[in-house]
Amino acid sequence: MTATVRIKANVLSRALEQRLLAAGASGTAADACVRALMHASRIGVDSHGVRLVSHYDSVLRAGRVKGNPDISVRRTAAATAVVDGDDGLGHLAGYRAMEEAIALAREAGIGAVGVVRSSHFGAAGAYAIAAAQAGMIGFATTNSDSAVTLFGGAKPFHGTNPLAFAAPSGGRRPWLVDMATSSIPLNRVLLFRALGKELPQGVAAGADGTATRDAHAASMLLPLGGEEFGFKGAALAGVATVLSAVLQGMTADHAMIPMVGAGDRTTPRNMGHFCLAIDPARFGGAEVFRAGMAAYLGAVRGAGPDTMAPGDREWTIEAEREREGIPVDLETAAFLGLLAGAEGADTTLQETSRI
């Protein structure tokens, strides 16, 4: 059994907010962070969910991240803008960027927004989903500090650099693709360490570049595609770097201060992100798009007995966690004051649905 505790979503959200406020986050910044963390935890992306609160608490207290940043937006053309995150929580800058991208798309059909002077923003899908909920196709990406070796390399170079897409599906829940360009996200290695679980084969390597399944021995990740086809993941990681860092003049992966570790937690990391929104009404039409997506995704689901459309697994997990509570590792639950006796907590040890 995995050491987790099931906690109701409303109880967990309240505990997260209280902890972030106590660390110095403004109400607006805390709300954005909680929204993004709960998105990930609700759909089973536990590596980017509530377990990250202790990290955000530490960098807020140390001064790397401002609790009450002065977020600003500068429109640069009819369909483009830049959001200055003022070294605050990346979740606040990420949501503000997608809000601006949606507003631009309503005017021009498409909105592209870069983010400068930001920090880690959690699961990129949280921002892509915001566009889908507004009836648009959304894309969000970010680069991050070196954790993934290049194809044929033996040291970290790219970050895990996610690419996330979402759109209305013609049904109740959006189509969602949210993937790291590494074999797995770095935060999943950290989660495996906390849970005492062995890594899958061919996803990580030790300091000498040799593949390992020991989460504690892993010092770098392999790019998506593994030892034979990792050139694909390495190239896709470069897409995130170009759009998030190079395009904005922000720090590239190999030069970025590490997110975790015992090093500097006072200097801002100078991260960039990129958000895109596309309004289907300006192309084939909103209704045409919804009908087309419903037909397409229906064909995907009907292609075989076990085929699923992107997002189907996440929405199934979300429904299960709504009923039974969200599994939280015991270390994070203790940090939030949600162990035995806490309102809304089921302290039975559970297997997590996805890590």
CATH number at residue 275: 3.30.1370.60
Q: pTM of the predicted model, to two decimals?
A: 0.92
Residue 216: inside a domain: no
Regarding whether 337 and 313 lie in a shared domain, the answer is: no
Is pLDDT at 16 greater than 50 in this prediction?
A: yes
Sheet of strand 148-149, all strands in order from the earlier edge strand to the far edge: 156-158, 148-149, 220-221, 204-205
Where in the sequence is the domain holding 48, given as residue range(s)?
A: 1-62+325-355
For residue 349, name the pLDDT band (cuts at 50, 70, 90). Answer: very low
Helix (H, G, I), strand (E, B) or coil at 350: coil
Q: In this structure, what token pair is assigned to residue 208?
A: 């000498």
CA–CA dist 271, 252 (Å, integer): 8
Q: In this structure, what token pair is assigned to residue 162?
A: 């996610």
pLDDT digits (tens, 9 = 90+) for 37-70: 999 999 999 989 999 999 999 999 999 999 999 9
- HSE at residue 228, side-chain half, CA atoms within 13 A, is 0
Q: Which pLDDT does position 333 carry in this prediction?
A: 96
- List phi, psi (to 5°) of 235: -70, -40
Residue 207: inside a domain: no
Count of structural domains, the chain: 2
Regarding whether 161 and 40 lie in a shared domain, the answer is: no
- As a whole number, mean pLDDT of residues 320-342 equals 90
Regarding whether 14 and 159 lie in a shared domain, the answer is: no
Token pair 């392999």 in the structure block, residue: 222
Is pLDDT at 350 greater than 70 in this prediction?
A: no
Is pLDDT at 176 greater than 90 in this prediction?
A: yes
- Tell me which of 91 and 219 has the higher pLDDT: 91
For residue 197, name the pLDDT band (cuts at 50, 70, 90). Answer: very high
Q: In this structure, what token pair is assigned to residue 216?
A: 């504690």
Is pLDDT at 351 greater than 50 in this prediction?
A: no
Q: Which pLDDT does position 343 carry in this prediction?
A: 52
Regarding whether 288 and 249 lie in a shared domain, the answer is: yes
Regarding whether 94 and 1 lie in a shared domain, the answer is: no
Residue 91: inside a domain: yes
Helix (H, G, I), strand (E, B) or coil at 64: coil
Q: In this structure, what token pair is assigned to residue 137?
A: 């196709």
- For helices 90-108 and 125-133, give the axis angle rounded to 10 degrees: 30
Q: Which pLDDT does position 353 carry in this prediction?
A: 37
Q: Which pLDDT does position 355 carry in this prediction?
A: 37
Regarding whether 234 and 103 lie in a shared domain, the answer is: yes
